[in-house]
Amino acid sequence: MQPPAAPGAIRQLTDVASLALEEARRQGASQCEADASLSQGLSVSVRLREVDTLEYQRDRGLGVTVYFGQRKGSASTADLAAAAVRETVEKACAIARYTAEDPYAGLVEPEALAREIPDLDLDHTWDLAPERAIELARECEAAGLGVDARITNSEGASVSSQRHTGVYGNSLGFLAGYSATSHSVSCSLIAQAGDDMQRDYWYTIARDPAELEAVASVGRTAGQRAVARLGAHRLTTRKVPVAFTPDMARGLFRHLVGAISGTSQYRKSSFLLNAAGEQIFPAFLQMQERPHIRKALASSPFDHEGAATRDRELVRDGVLRGYVLGSYSARRLGMSTTGNAGGIHNLIVTSADGALDAAGFLARLDTGLLVTELMGQGVNGVTGDYSRGASGFWVEHGAIVYPVHEITIAGNLRPMYRHIVALGDDYDLRGGIRTGSVLLSEMTIAGE
């Protein structure tokens, strides 16, 4: 699969967005915005060497929002032909004429718009034929199955290559777009010893296929993780130090982002309501947003409203310095957009005291629980109450002793954040939040 050249797709989508904006003005809209996109990709999965799925996907779409004063209407279409674009704008205008006025509705403030669009090196196509994708998935799974005789089954291996091109424009004169790719390989395996069956997985993801972990390595890691979970114990109920591996720790900070989002703040549905300026974390913890890291998975030159993205300190010395805002939520709060319409862009969690290597991190944990998987959705964003099923490993005197499963870890996110005592240097770059392992001084384990 070789996608067409990005400049051609961007030109086409630019024409579509321009037509939509022109038509909205012709129909009397005081403000308007249009978002045109084209996505395409190839996904393959195999299980026990047999092809399970082979999907080629190609989607296109246009979303139009118009404003008549403070009245707003939106419509969308998957047909980018000129007649369909005009009809979509007409429907958005019809909706706007019947909606109630919202004093906070409107486009982002002109001064917030991105004036320069940096090239963040996000577009790296992968000339991947379906036959080759199947071959790679089989290689990945075979490497995992070959790790240990106790790996008796597979949930499959998959290979995916996706590319998205988007153009956003509005009546303030902003019109820009770019292409971005995302490629991934994953594997999930099952290990068995007697009646004990355990599954685990691994994956790699990158903008550039050249930066993916080798497929055989992905399979082997999945196999090793599955075997390591055999012989898992339950624990009795207790309070102990709890550590989260980087992929699990990312979720802890995702709850923070949700709590400090403008929507949660103006709806007063956040456990961190009006918390800007407060000491949320210990003084060593820092968080920076870095939207312009080249090739990073959450990089973007502008947000969903065309506002410029820029570096910012979200947490300095443990103190929350602001919220995550788009223009609408910013107006509701009497503030200015932070360029986060659509979400956060590369949130990096660091320690002023320095991150610990693997041995130092486990030594600091000493005796407690290392969480490697979380289950369930037991997190209340309003109260901060946290209760999730977990599995991982019991650690004694800085050494892993045995695997653990069928337990629940519980606490409240406010004190949990204050109880962070160390970060590991094992940074996981596979998402929009970059963190190493995180150690909390105490949580409740509910077990036997």
Other beta carbons less than 10 A from residue 128's beta carbon: 19
Label the pairing between strands 285-289 and 438-446.
Answer: unpaired
Asked if residue 1 has pLDDT above 70, the reply is no
Task: Tell whether the torsion through CA atoms of 230, 235, 241 and 242 is positive or negative.
Answer: positive
DSSP conformational letter for 135: H
> Token match 């995180």: residue?
438
The pLDDT mean for the chain works out to 96
Q: How many C-beta atoms surround the C-beta of residue 189 within 10 A?
A: 30
Grouping H, G, I as helix, E, B as strand and the rest as coil, residue 18 is helix
Residues belonging to the chain: 448
Q: Is the pLDDT score of 6 beyond 80?
A: no
User: With contact defined as beta carbons under 8 Å apart, do 325 and 337 qualify?
Assistant: yes
Checking if the pLDDT of 3 tops 50, the result is no
pTM, two decimals, is 0.93
Contact 225, 200 (CB under 8 A): yes
Residue 341 to residue 330: CA distance in whole angstroms: 10
- The alpha carbon torsion through 373, 376, 378, 382 (nearest 10 deg) reads 100
Q: What is the pLDDT of residue 4?
A: 41
Determine the pLDDT at residue 152: 95
Q: Tell me the pLDDT tens digit for each residue of 368-381.
A: 999 999 998 889 99
The pLDDT of residue 280 is 98
CB 273 within 8 A of CB 298: no
**What is Dmax (Cα atoms) for the chain?**
72
Instruction: Name the fold adopted by 6-228.
Output: PmbA/TldD fold (3.30.2290)
Average pLDDT estimate for 11-28: 97
- Residue 195 identity (one-letter amino acid): D
Could you tell me which residues are beta bridge partners of residue 157?
46, 187
How many Å separate Cα 447 from the centre of its chain? 31
| pLDDT surpassing 70 at residue 80 | yes
**Tens digit of pLDDT for each residue in 274-320?**
999 999 999 999 999 999 999 999 999 999 999 999 999 999 999 99
CA distance 287 to 309: 16
DSSP state of 48: T
Judging by beta carbons within 10 Å of its beta carbon (0-12, 13-18, 19+), is residue 27 exposed, middle or buried? middle
> With the C-alpha atoms ordered 446, 272, 323, 421, is the resulting torsion angle positive or negative?
negative
Q: What is the pLDDT of residue 448?
A: 80
User: In the prediction, which pLDDT does 411 show?
Assistant: 97
Res. 5 pLDDT band, cuts 50 70 90: very low
C-alpha distance from residue 80 to each of 76, 164, 224, 312 (Å): 10, 16, 48, 37
User: Residue type at 211?
Assistant: E
CA dist., res. 300 & res. 340, Å (int): 10
Q: Please determine, for residue 269, whether its predicted confidence score (pLDDT) is greater than 90.
A: yes
With a cut of 50, say whether residue 401 has pLDDT above it.
yes
Scanning 260-326, the segments in alpha helix (DSSP H) are 262-266
Nearest to 392 by CA among 245, 255, 246: 245
Average pLDDT over residues 163-178: 98
Q: Could you count the other beta carbons within 10 Å of the beta carbon of residue 313?
A: 13
Q: Output the six-digit token pair for 199.
A: 């599954």
Determine the Cα–Cα distance for residues 149 and 226; give it in Å rounded to an integer: 12
Write down the domain spans for the chain.
6-228, 238-446
Q: What pLDDT, on a 0 to 100 scale, did the predictor assign at position 300?
A: 97
Q: Closest Cα to residue 381, out of 414, 334, 408? A: 414
DSSP-derived letter for residue 324 is B
